[in-house]
Amino acid sequence: MILLGVNIDHVATVREARQTYEPDPVWAAAEAELGGADLITCHLRQDRRHVCDRDLRLLSETTAVELNLETSMEEEIVDIALETAPSKATLVPERRREVTTEGGLDVAAEVQRVSDVVKKLQDKGTRVSLFIDPDPEQIEESARAGAEEVELHTGPYAEAEGRSKREQCLRTLGRAAGKARKMDLVVNAGHGLTYRNVQPVAERLLPRELHIGHSIVSRSIFSGMKQAVSGMKDLIDRAESRVR
């Protein structure tokens, strides 16, 4: 079964819009679990624009499913990840002014540094995934860096306009998934996935996990978090059952 990781960052974004105490991303995580989330994901950014240290502390104490901490390579954040020792960490690039994570981690450019962080996290019992573009070199370097998993960046697929561009992106993702599996890497995918575009990714990649945030949080405003998550789970399950 394809697992669903629900990213609750943007619940905290709404809270931070007023710098107040609500809505609480910790409540959102509990509701997401009730809706069937298999993992809860959050990204403690250096500028703390959404999730803050208190959220991470409470999430790590209260989340019953796996907690996946998106972690940049900055020393301060890596130290917090090591102290928190979540069951999973996903290494992501982080640029201060970006609206959201823009591209995959350039593992090829800094394989030694990545490999040092991977090793430190693994020594704490955290399994490590690298968020990368679906690029053969990045996959090879991810394996070389010692990660167990990769998360293939589906942003370009999500943004592609027209059937043929989307199909091209799906083919690139499919080839990357095949190569990663040959290198014994677990394949996950995420970024920019929505209720409208998730099914082809589920069908074509059959990833272990799909990681989705903005679209689920957006729907939860109207339907509640529990129903938003179970609706997404249903779509993924139906896509998977068509090909398995």
Shortest distance (Å) from residue 220 CB to ligand PXP? 13
Shortest distance (Å) from residue 213 CB to ligand PXP? 3
Contact status: 57 vs ligand PXP (CB under 6 A) = no
Shortest distance (Å) from residue 231 CB to ligand PXP? 15
Contact status: 90 vs ligand PXP (CB under 6 A) = yes
Coil, helix or strand at residue 140: helix
Tell me whether residue 43 or residue 88 sits nearer to ligand PXP (CB atom).
43
Q: Which one among 151, 180, 229, 239 touches ligand PXP, defined by CB under 6 A?
A: 151
Catalytic residue among 10, 33, 43, 149: 43
Answer yes or no: 50 catalytic.
no
Query: Which stretch, 54-62, 108-116, 161-169, 212-220, contacts ligand PXP (CB under 6 A)?
Result: 212-220
Contact status: 101 vs ligand PXP (CB under 6 A) = yes
- Which residues face 129 on adjacent strands? 90, 149
Q: Which one among 132, 190, 201, 233 touches ligand PXP, defined by CB under 6 A?
A: 190
Q: Which one among 2, 3, 4, 7 touches ligand PXP, defined by CB under 6 A?
A: 7
Contact 148, 119 (CB under 8 A): no
Contact status: 84 vs ligand PXP (CB under 6 A) = no
Answer yes or no: 211 catalytic.
no
Residue holding tokens 């978090």?
225
Contact status: 89 vs ligand PXP (CB under 6 A) = no
Contact status: 191 vs ligand PXP (CB under 6 A) = yes
Coil, helix or strand at residue 143: helix
Answer yes or no: 191 catalytic.
yes
Residue 196 CB neighbour total at 10 angstroms? 9
68-72 long-range contacts (CB < 8 A, ≥24 apart) are 68/5, 68/39, 68/40, 68/41, 68/42, 68/129, 68/211, 69/41, 69/42, 69/43, 69/44, 70/7, 70/41, 70/42, 70/43, 70/44, 70/101, 70/131, 71/44, 71/117, 71/121, 72/45, 72/46
Query: Which stretch, 12-20, 27-35, 196-204, 211-219, contacts ligand PXP (CB under 6 A)?
Result: 211-219
Catalytic residue among 31, 33, 70, 94: 70
Integer CA distances (angstroms), 194 to 83, 157, 200, 231, 237, in order: 33, 11, 11, 11, 15
Tell me whether residue 222 or residue 244 sits nearer to ligand PXP (CB atom).
222
**Per-residue buried b or exposed e for 99-137, using 16+ beta carbons within 10 Å of the residue's own CB:** eebebbbbbbeebeebbebbeebeeeebbbbbbbbbbee
Which residues bind to ligand PXP, rule: CB under 6 A?
A: 7, 9, 43, 70, 90, 92, 100-101, 131, 151, 190-193, 211-215
Cite the active site residues.
43, 70, 191
